Chain A
């Protein structure tokens, strides 16, 4: 048992005092009373190793890092996920949620009965008028599924038969940071583990040479709203489960090469010694963060060879760059990140999280959204096609979407060729694609105003529950005890959206 050891307890040690402070009374009592009992039994039986498999041992101590005992809870459909997060809140009304009736209603005041007393953001609440605004962009139907897509997304329009649209997404947050935090961690306040961290914690890694959760942020986006590393953080989970952000440039991870005149021969030996020191420290204090540190040193060591290998773009033929778009030759762009995501997925990285900022179009929406779409449409569609032809879409889930939608009324003045849209949490569109979700399918419906959901609402926690479900996880059972309570990604809510599952 990790909390019994032969080394004398040195209370003068500052670290130890820190841990003692962190150990609450109840935990102390249960651990010590259990401990005395098992000590007694252990000495009676003369078998020290009898408690080797104690469940109190932090899970990361198991060498294989292959996830938690008992997981997956049932047969999974998905093995990996690429989450194409469109930060800022893309306007569903101008991309995917076609509302032909708005053409006639264009310029008219939003009826109070539709808004139904909803509290608006401080940015548009003081407006004297809320003119409903039809999209400036033309919609057409595509594919066998006859899905409506606006002219902004011509490449995505080609792949609609692979996609599963959820038109009835809802969130409880109305501002960027809380809304993204809510999407990625299940709670609007910072501090909870992100979805990728939960998946790594529960299911472990499929490729020990690469982090199981990698984050790529577009360098070519309008950085209107900031992103914080806590969005891919581990929260209270042990820290080796946090997302590893690759740099958006030529060298995704710095300092992988050896310094001049050093051949790296003795590094393994150095790390082994360091590991034994850390293990001694762990035996004394039992702090799981020490195991996390050991795991991270080892991961960094393996990444010295695995990262240059997987990020080497030289063996990608020209047609690949043509498919993803010319920007894909420029590392760190959204297109290049899509291509890199495919390469990481090929290496069985479990969770690749892309972020593309710049969808926050409060004003001048028609221009802004056109630029955003141009930067992302082709590469997004190329990624889906590429995954499909390689057979990877069978066990990879792709999710596209932002943290909320945008209002049907114009923020600011509605002019003949310009408008803006404010944040709208009551309805927005996401799409999923690949492992376990219905292709060429649309789920949920909004009203003719594009303001409220009228059929099959899907809340953020529902989406999270569904994603975990596709990985074979019962979202109610993947928990972690912290500060006396068991936490989970979906907090106390979430229902699997069975209607979109194959």
Chain B
């Protein structure tokens, strides 16, 4: 009961602390005005503000002391904050005394006491903030020296090396849980920084029951309705996403909460989700080109229809309508070179492109779907396409290709569908039969 009351009172600390900060800062500013603005009449106000500051700082410090007793805060941060806080109270009191009896002390003393007061106030405030929000809260998103989350992700040689706890769960806990459940502020006596401490659980016992997601407190807390008292993360902090919850559940239920289990054992969907979040050496950079909207608008003006397929990869779907091409396709295509890595789907149907344009298209190395139907393209142009190693769908309807010229396409391992309607190729051709047996769907007329 008394403990609850102490906690209740203590929790006014974060609310109250802003009051002394305000009083003390206005006192310093007023002092500046008195000296620089030559307004000695206001010296009285400085003293008064310092008096209020001292009293309110004392109350804040007492409340803070009560709050620290209610648990959940510990470690170096708390000690520094505590000492700095009391120092501030002391310095505020001295400053008040010195200013009240201004004529009895040298001016320099008054200035330096105020200087130290500001310093001590800042230190107290900063460590108080770090206690509440986490140590890297202030600098996490700083543009130049910030410890950005990415850098904490370890580098992996291959995806197979990735371990569920270290590479998937840990980063989730880091961003969503550890601002409260960490050494120095283990709310509910739960410290989620390492596997061992996580397994140990908190004041209500373990939070992870291996093989049983339903009984694991961790899962229960993050899947409650958001307005439930027990919901985590609490206090309007960003909740876990569905995939994050799925990963943790999978790890507990299927992975036996084994920290070393490989992520490859999880469902495909989950692996797909995790992939771009891992730091895999030499992997295709997922956060590839950013989308240059100004350039896309230029393409739009030329008459290309450009559509963003994925904001994440910068993948684009580009269509050159035949009425726009108007015999100029070869020239117009050059405008695509600045975005050549970003073109995933490309349609140049009935634009009049020829064999000579194929080498340019072959530079669009990320093409997955290519429509070049109804163009005067022959075998000579096809061989250039064999380097499109990500090509899945190729539409050659109404082109002049022949069965003998299609050979190079067999080198494209990613190819899934090939359209050869209205060409001289026919379904019985040996090459067609062979490639069909290799899981490429070859489509002729109905």
Contact = CB atoms under 8 A, between A and B. Distances in A.
Nearest to A204: B307
A79 interface: yes
Nearest to A64: B300
A36 interface: no
A382 B446 CA distance: 9
B378 to A, nearest CB: 19
A207 B300 CA distance: 11
A204 B313 CA distance: 20
Interface in B292-349: 297, 300, 305, 307-313, 315, 317, 319, 321, 344-345
A59 B156 CA distance: 42
B443 A72 contact: no
B348 to A, nearest CB: 13
Interface stretch (A92-100, A216-224, A290-298, A387-395): A387-395
Contact of B311 (A70, A348, A389): A70
Interface string A430-457: 0000000000000000000000000000
Contacts of A75: 309-310, 313, 315, 344
A385 interface: yes
Contacts of A76: 309
B180 to A, nearest CB: 27
Q: Please report whether the interface of chain A is mostly helix, strand, loop or mixed according to DSSP.
A: loop
- Among A71, A74, A204, max chain B CB count under 10 A is at A74
Contacts of B312: 74
A323 interface: yes
B369 A472 contact: no
Contact of B446 (A64, A389, A391): A389
Contacts of B417: 391, 394
A391 B309 contact: no
Contact of B397 (A66, A207, A391): A391
B227 interface: no
Interface in A366-421: 382, 385-386, 388-391, 394-395
A390 B421 contact: yes
Given A72-B309, A206-B307, A498-B269, A391 B317 contact: no
Given A64-B297, A64-B300, A389-B445, A74 B310 contact: yes
A174 B317 CA distance: 41
A394 B349 CA distance: 15
Contact of B369 (A204, A385, A395): A395
B369 A394 contact: yes
A70 B317 CA distance: 15
B8 interface: no
Chain B contact patch, size range: 20 to 34
A391 B371 contact: yes
Interface in B336-385: 344-345, 369, 371, 373
Nearest to B308: A72
B393 interface: yes
Contacts of B399: none
A391 B395 contact: yes
Interface in A70-97: 70-76, 79
Contacts, number: 63
Contacts of A391: 371, 373, 393, 395, 397, 417, 419, 443
A71 B309 CA distance: 8
Interface in B405-445: 417, 419, 421, 443-445
Contacts of B305: 206-207, 348
B307 A389 contact: no
A139 B87 CA distance: 89
A273 to B, nearest CB: 23
Interface in A337-370: 348
B107 to A, nearest CB: 36
B283 to A, nearest CB: 17
Interface of B, secondary structure class, is strand
Contacts of B393: 391, 394
A389 B309 contact: no
Contact of A390 (B300, B319, B397): B397
Nearest to B310: A75
Most buried by B among A66, A386, A391: A391
A323 B446 CA distance: 9
A472 B309 contact: yes
Contact of A348 (B310, B319, B443): B319
Contacts of A71: 308
Nearest to B307: A206
A259 to B, nearest CB: 26
B446 A72 contact: no
Contacts of A323: 446
A138 to B, nearest CB: 26
B367 to A, nearest CB: 14
Given A79-B317, A395-B369, A389 B443 contact: yes
B86 to A, nearest CB: 38
Interface in B219-271: 269
A79 B344 CA distance: 13
Nearest to A203: B307
A140 B395 CA distance: 34
Most chain-B CB neighbours within 10 Å: which of A71, A79, A203? A79
A203 B345 CA distance: 16
Contacts of B345: 79, 395
Contacts of B373: 390-391
B421 A389 contact: yes
A463 to B, nearest CB: 19
Contacts of B421: 389-390
Contact of A206 (B319, B444, B445): B319
Which of B312, B419, B446 has the most A CB atoms < 10 Å from its CB? B446
Contacts of B317: 79
Nearest to B347: A348
Contacts of A206: 305, 307, 319
Contacts of A395: 345, 369
A76 B310 CA distance: 8
Contacts of A79: 317, 345
Contacts of A204: 307
A74 B395 CA distance: 24
B309 A388 contact: no
Contacts of A66: 307-308
B405 to A, nearest CB: 19
Nearest to A205: B305
A207 B305 CA distance: 7
A388 B420 CA distance: 11
A107 B436 CA distance: 50
Nearest to A73: B311
Contacts of A386: 446
Nearest to A394: B393
A388 B371 contact: no
Contact of B310 (A64, A385, A390, A472): A472
List the 3 shortest-distance A-B pairs measured between CB atoms, nearest first.
Answer: A385-B446, A391-B395, A391-B419
Interface of A: 64, 66, 70-76, 79, 203-204, 206-207, 323, 348, 382, 385-386, 388-391, 394-395, 472, 498
13 contacts: A66-B307, A72-B308, A74-B310, A76-B309, A203-B307, A204-B307, A382-B446, A389-B444, A390-B397, A390-B419, A391-B419, A395-B369, A498-B269
Given A75-B310, A206-B307, 16 more contacts: A64-B297, A64-B300, A72-B310, A75-B309, A203-B307, A204-B307, A207-B305, A348-B319, A385-B446, A386-B446, A389-B446, A390-B419, A390-B421, A391-B393, A391-B419, A391-B443
